[in-house]
Amino acid sequence: MHPILLLVAQRLALGLLLIFAASILIFAGTSILPGDVAQSILGQSATPQALANLRAELGMDQPPVTRYFNWLGGVLQGDLGTALTNGRDIAESLSSRLGNTLFLAFWAAIIAVPLAIALGLIAVRYKDRWPDKVISAVTLTTISIPEFMIGYLLIFFLSIQLPQLIMSLEFLSDGVRGWLLANLRFSSVAMMNDSMSLVEKIKSITLPIMVLTLVVLAHMMRMTRAAILNVMQSAYIETAELKGLGMLRIIRTHAFPNAIAPIVNVVMLNLAYLVVGVVVIEVVFAYPGMGQYLVDHVSKRDVPVVQACGLIFATVYIGLNLVADIVSILTNPRLRHPK
């Protein structure tokens, strides 16, 4: 077997191990910490009898290790348990929400990734000149505001102020204004149901996509810039310049092959970040995804739901990081062509 395959297999095994360890950590985080779930659900006024009943129902009378393996056994068979608050099957409630969350993250990524790489390249091309400085100032600002606030800023300016602005533009004919209002309508609530067409769905989530794009764009662009600059400062780029090659050819044939791994790394890291950013954005736009579901049930102290959501988020996060690792192994010439 080619040594590189062995390395990839090793990395995959490590990823699985990490997910397993993360499941232990999540379970431990909800079980061993001083908080008493039964007490927090029923409140301070609960009778000892009611507490004992609930504890038994939750299986709290069993040792934690047994409970963990029961839970893990269920998870492996696709059984995520039932929600404490409404008694529904968690896996069932999650399936459509997970789809919605991935839908949102997917479209944000489709826009953010190419944009970030393009801006990163522009910043490198015009390093220390005004395009670079403008880009870096704008990204610095977006990094400095929490995601949910960017969400409300956009709602305020795009879905509230913009229509008013259009209305006040009296030099436009009614027809033009009507057209503008109809087409520049940004919904502050991201509705989502199965009867909507794809275009309707995307229209409905325009604002959340914009927010998520802004949020990851800044990080991704900064890191892309750094990664490309790092490659461009290598001695072999100077060699290429001294061969008289043009800038584009240098970037295409000499910089790009060496920049793939760091850029993929940046992209994956930010996609992982995006998946987490989704949690908050879903709350802002009342989007029926997994993040909103998770946050709701955290306040309701519905531990089985929290565990299930936590595990899924962690798995996606670890998975994306794993992809970055594997790409950097596969593109490393030293590993691809061993001595």
Partner 1 sequence: MTEPLLKVRGLRIGATIHPPGEKSRHIDIVHGVDFDLAPGRVLGLIGESGAGKSTIGLAAMAYGRGGVRITGGTVTLNGRDILSTPFRDVRRLRGGEVTYVSQSAAASFNPAKQIMEQVTEAAIFQGKFTRKEAEDRAIALFRKLGLPGPDTIGSRYPHQVSGGQLQRCMTALALCPQPDLVVFDEPTTALDVTTQIDVLAAIKEAIRDTGVAALYITHDLAVVAQVADDIMVLQQGRMVEMGTTDQIINAPKEDYTRALVSVRSITHDEKTPTQTPVLSVTDITARYSGTDFDVLKDITVDLHPGQTLAVVGESGSGKSTLARVITGLLPPSAGQITFAGRPLSPDLAARSKTDLRELQMIYQIADTAMNPRQTVGTIIGRPLEFYFGLRGAEKQRRIQELLDAIELGKGFQDRYPAELSGGQKQRVCIARALAAEPRLIICDEVTSALDPLVADGILKLLLSLQKSEDMAYLFITHDLATVRAIADSIAVMYQGRVLRYGPKSQALSPPFDDYTDLLLSSVPEMRLGWLEDVLDSRKMESGGN
Partner 2 sequence: MRIPLAALIGLIFTALFFGAALFAPLIAPYGMAEIVGDVWEPPSDRFPLGTDSIGRDLLSRLVYGGQTTIFIATAATALSFVVGSVLGFFAAVSGGWIDQTLSRFIDLIMSIPTLIFALVVLSVTPTKIPILIVLMGLLDSTRVYRLARAVAVDITVMDYVEAARLRGEGTLWIIFRETLPNALSPLIAEMGLRFIFAVLFVSTLSFLGLGVQPPQADWGGIVKENKEGINYGIQAALYPAYAIALLCISINLVADWILGRTTSLKGGRG
Question: Binding to partner 2 (CB under 8 A): which residues in 43-72?
Answer: none
Shortest Cβ distance from residue 234 to partner 2 (Å)?
13
What residues line the site for partner 1 (CB under 8 A)?
Answer: 234-236, 238-246, 249, 253-254, 257-258, 331, 333-334, 337, 339
Return the residue of 207, 266, 279, 324 that touches partner 2, per CB under 8 A: 279
Which DSSP symbol is given to 285?
A: T
Return the residue of 68, 103, 126, 148 that touches partner 2, per CB under 8 A: 148
DSSP string, 158-212: IIIIHHHHHHH-TTS-HHHHHHHHHHT---SS----TTS-HHHHHHHTHHHHHHH
Q: Does 35 interact with partner 2 (rule: CB under 8 A)? A: yes
Q: Which pairs from 257-260 meet CB under 8 Å and 24+ separation?
A: 257/331, 258/231, 258/234, 259/227, 259/228, 259/231, 260/327, 260/331
Stretch that binds partner 2, among 55-63, 74-82, 251-259, 299-307 (CB under 8 A): 299-307
Shortest Cβ distance from residue 69 to partner 2 (Å)?
19
CA-based R_g, the chain, Å? 25
Helix (H, G, I), strand (E, B) or coil at 338: coil
Shortest Cβ distance from residue 250 to partner 1 (Å)?
10
Quote the CA–CA distance of 189 and 152 in Å, as a whole number: 11
Phi-psi region of 128 (alpha: psi -120 to 50; beta: other; left: phi over 0): left
Task: Determine contact, residues 304/70, Cβ cutoff 8 Å.
Answer: no
Is the CB of 117 or the CB of 282 nearer to partner 2?
Answer: 282
Distant-in-sequence, close-in-space partners of 220: CB < 8 Å, separation ≥ 6: 112, 113, 116, 117, 120, 266, 267, 270
Helix (H, G, I), strand (E, B) or coil at 217: helix
Return the residue of 46, 121, 184, 295 that touches partner 2, per CB under 8 A: 295
Shortest Cβ distance from residue 294 to partner 2 (Å)?
6
Q: Does 313 interact with partner 2 (rule: CB under 8 A)? A: yes
Is the CB of 245 or the CB of 327 nearer to partner 2?
Answer: 327
Is the CB of 5 or the CB of 21 nearer to partner 2?
Answer: 21
Q: Does 280 interact with partner 2 (rule: CB under 8 A)? A: yes
**Contact partner, 165, from partner 2, partner 1, none, Cβ < 5-8 Å per class:** none
**Contact partner, 77, from partner 2, partner 1, none, Cβ < 5-8 Å per class:** none
